[in-house]
Amino acid sequence: MNKKISLQLDELTCPSCLTKIEGAVKQEPGVENVKVLFNAGKVKADFDDTQNSADNLANVVTKLGYEVKKVRVKDL
């Protein structure tokens, strides 16, 4: 089933953060339509939960050095 994830981050300090996060999340299985909202400090993406999980996607961003403050998941 397809889901939409929204990750609230603590620190996005430069435009290269956007490129770094989008690139890493896009490489994950089942992920589509990744968008980093720099000014809002959010990462949004659509993903297939049979191929990936919200916890894994949050961990991908955490491993890049960003603190994930909040995770929201909705069905599409």
Whole-model pTM: value is 0.93
Q: Categorize the per-residue pLDDT at 15 as very low, low, confident or very high, splitting at 50, 70 and 90.
A: confident
* Residue-level pLDDT at 76: 87
* Predicted pLDDT of residue 10: 80
Residue pLDDT, tens place only, 22-76: 999 999 999 999 999 988 999 999 999 999 999 999 999 999 999 999 999 999 8
Number of domains in the chain: 1
CA-nearest of 56, 48, 64, 52 to 9 is: 64
Residue 18 maps to which CATH number?
Answer: 3.30.70.100
Q: Which domain holds residue 53?
A: 2-75
What local confidence, expressed as pLDDT, does residue 12 receive? 84
Pair type for strands 2-9 and 68-75: antiparallel
